[in-house]
Amino acid sequence: MAVANQKGGVAKTTTVHSLGYALAERGRRVLLVDLDPQACLTYSLGTDPDSLDRSLHDVLVRKVKAADAIQRDVSGLEGLDLLPATIDLAGSEVHLLTRTGREHVLERALKPLAEDYDIVLIDCPPSLGVLTINGLTAASEVIVPLQCEALSHRGVGQLLETIDDVRAFANADLAVRGVIATMYDERTRHARAVLEDVRERYGLTILEPPIRKSIRFAEAPQRGMCILQHAPGSPGAEAYRAIAAQLDKPVSGRRASPGARG
């Protein structure tokens, strides 16, 4: 599953970390892939990107195999592994532009790991560049974190157009699993209206419950934790557990459609 939205600050990394931890809690073997040169997921999992000898960059430029760059049992949880990022990924993007079949590089790198994991979660960067295209090409499904405000709403339409392009030339079976409302303030009419408009305009599934705003989310990464470790009984932790339970049940015979444009 690729977690994507080209707008920054919508809790993509928080979503990947929290869902990955929740799925591992359920006994799943989970691989988290940090595809963002900012390496926020890697940092949030308690790893200093500057200290790494091997990272996803080395995999994409074919210096090492993906299995050799993986960090095992991150967050102290058995079954939760990380393919980490460093700032060098920014150079990988330039390198990929010169490669034949550049949109399939991540897919090919991850393929030998298919039997090792039940679920792979890919944290895409906040752009629609070649790294995000690689993430979408490698995935079977997309999850879209959505901050319920106007600019993030506008980004959903742009992302769905990119998904259409990826389906056309690289990954015909790519499906949109759903939207997760993040930093949600149910007290505001605007947040409710944005979420409903996304549902109606694009015909997307809204994965419930929404993730409400909480200072706990800001505190957790500094401790190398996700919300489920830092505040396990909080509404945010329980919301991510509930969504993880939904994602743990495959959807058969359905291919999410971007819906109408406009």
**pLDDT, averaged in runs of 10, over the chain (262 residues):** 91 95 97 96 93 96 96 92 96 86 95 96 94 96 87 79 94 96 83 85 92 88 87 94 92 44 32
- How big is the chain by its Cα radius of gyration, in Å? 17
Strand 175-182 to 2-3 pairing: unpaired
CATH number listed for the domain at residues 2-247: 3.40.50.300
Q: What is the pLDDT of residues 62-78, one digit of tens each?
A: 999 999 999 999 988 99
Tell me whether residue 224 is exposed, middle or buried, using C-beta atoms within 10 angstroms of its C-beta: 0 to 12, 13 to 18, 19 or more: middle
What count of other Cβ atoms lies within 10 Å of the Cβ of residue 235? 16
Strands (E) located in the chain: 2-3, 30-34, 80-83, 119-123, 141-147, 175-182
Q: Beta 2-3 vs 141-147: how paired, if at all?
A: parallel
Q: What is the pLDDT of residues 182-231, one digit of tens each?
A: 988 877 788 888 888 888 889 999 999 999 988 888 888 878 889 999 99
The burial of 156, by beta-carbon neighbours within 10 Å (0-12 exposed, 13-18 middle, 19 or more buried), is given as buried
CA–CA distance, 163 with 132 (Å, rounded to integer):
10
Task: Provide the residue ranges of all domains of the chain, joining segments of one domain with +.
Answer: 2-247
What angle in degrees, to the nearest 10, is found between the helix axes of 189-202 and 150-169?
20
The pTM of the full predicted model, rounded to 2 decimals, is: 0.92
